[in-house]
Amino acid sequence: EIMGISEKGHDYFIQFTDARPDTGGLSGATPSEAMTWGKVDPDQLPDTIVCYADSTIVMPILTAYALETVGARPLKRLYDQRDSLLQDLQDDYAKASTPHHSDDILGGGGGTAIGRGTPDAGH
């Protein structure tokens, strides 16, 4: 979000909750609410799942199903790919139309990416 790179939100949304919306317990944390925040892809909204159940019942069932159904995947080894992943991020940021330059956000210096993102942050 802070880098100006366009995202549509998550492709999948599964929610397990024991808070029911009719009693006010869900406090707006529904898939459609998450869509308005950009957390869920609007095209995927009809496929979202909300299961009203206690997590101590649902989680063991879901975990057993996932472990039995899905085979082991090869490890991604993201740390080994960090240089190319950082370059991809810098390239995507440079393509986005923002008032800052990629060196301002990802360049040298200390502090956080947010602190370095402001041209007059004094770095």
Ranges assigned E (strand) in 31-111: 49-52
- Amino acid at the residue 1: E
The catalytic residues are: 39
State how far the Cα of 111 lies from the Cα of 102, in Å rounded to an integer: 16
Q: CA 52, CA 32: separation in Å to the nearest integer?
A: 16
